[in-house]
């Protein structure tokens, strides 16, 4: 991949060059991950999930877990 240069403005903002945005498949509004290393800064597309996506992908509790939760709740009543 080619090296690209961008300039930081007075607000500390930089423009990510088009080739880099396309390579990382970054779209407006998406999150970017920055990590420092000895060589410099690593920029990655952050894979953020909505809480609703995480919750709907979780496996349902089995009966033993539900019973245990109910037992703990009953101890506090």
7-39 per-position pLDDT tens digit:
999 999 999 999 988 988 889 988 888 899 898
In a domain, 67, yes or no: yes
Residue ranges making up the domain that contains 67: 18-75
In a domain, 39, yes or no: yes
Q: Taking all residues of the chain, what is their mean pLDDT, rounded to a whole number? A: 82
In a domain, 46, yes or no: yes
In a domain, 1, yes or no: no
In a domain, 11, yes or no: no
> Residue 11: what pLDDT?
95
Q: pTM of the predicted model, to two decimals?
A: 0.52
> Residue 56: what pLDDT?
66
Residue 26's closest CA among 54, 6, 50, 46? 46
In a domain, 5, yes or no: no
Per the structure, the count of domains in the chain is: 1
The Cα 21–Cα 25 span in angstroms is 6
In a domain, 49, yes or no: yes
* Tens of pLDDT, residues 36-51: 989 888 888 887 667 6
């Amino acid at each position: 991949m080619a090296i690209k240069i961008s300039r930081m403005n007075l607000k500390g903002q930089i423009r990510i060059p088009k080739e880099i945005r396309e390579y990382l498949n970054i779209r407006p509004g998406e999150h970017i991950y920055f990590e420092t290393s000895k060589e410099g800064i690593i920029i990655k597309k952050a894979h953020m999930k909505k809480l609703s996506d995480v919750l709907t992908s979780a496996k349902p509790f089995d009966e033993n877990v539900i019973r245990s939760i109910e037992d703990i709740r009953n101890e506090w009543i």
